[in-house]
Amino acid sequence: MAIPETEIAVPSLADLPAAATQLRAALSDHNIILFEGEMGAGKTTLIKALCENLGVPASEVSSPTFSLVNEYRDARNQPVYHFDFYRLDNSAEALAMGALEYFDSGYLCLIEWPSRVSDLLPSRHLLVTLTVTGEEARVLQLKTMG
């Protein structure tokens, strides 16, 4: 089971793969992973590193800013859903695109800007907060919820 709360230091971008490995280990049996952090904190970059760790080719991972969701396949050919809700005006838009079906699928859902759809999110999830601590340095705070 995942540790209820932990921190991962990321001194530079070169340390992201190691941080992604630690994050993967913390996923445990969570399939809903929320990524919070200011614009430019590195949410998409961290998700790309995590997806690579899961066996998704790096060239396939990109921000779903305009499509809202991208689907990738991990090394076991299981779907991984990557959401970016930054451009949503309200959670009704997420409902209209079928967000609840994705969340209930049992497959890994990586969600950027989850606060835009907070009323739709399952209570049980892993919250990853990225805090900028330097030009390339970040601290990841992982907290198990629910």
pLDDT of 100 above 80 = yes
pLDDT of 2 above 70 = no
How far is 27 from 105, CA to CA, in rounded Å?
Answer: 16
Query: pLDDT value at position 4?
Result: 66
Domains, the chain, ranges and CATH?
Answer: 5-145 (3.40.50.300)
Query: pLDDT value at position 5?
Result: 84
| Beta-strand runs (E) in 55-120 | 69-73, 79-84, 108-112
pTM of the predicted model, to two decimals?
0.93
Query: pLDDT value at position 64?
Result: 81
What confidence tens digit (pLDDT) does each residue in 36-60 have? 999 999 999 999 999 999 999 988 9
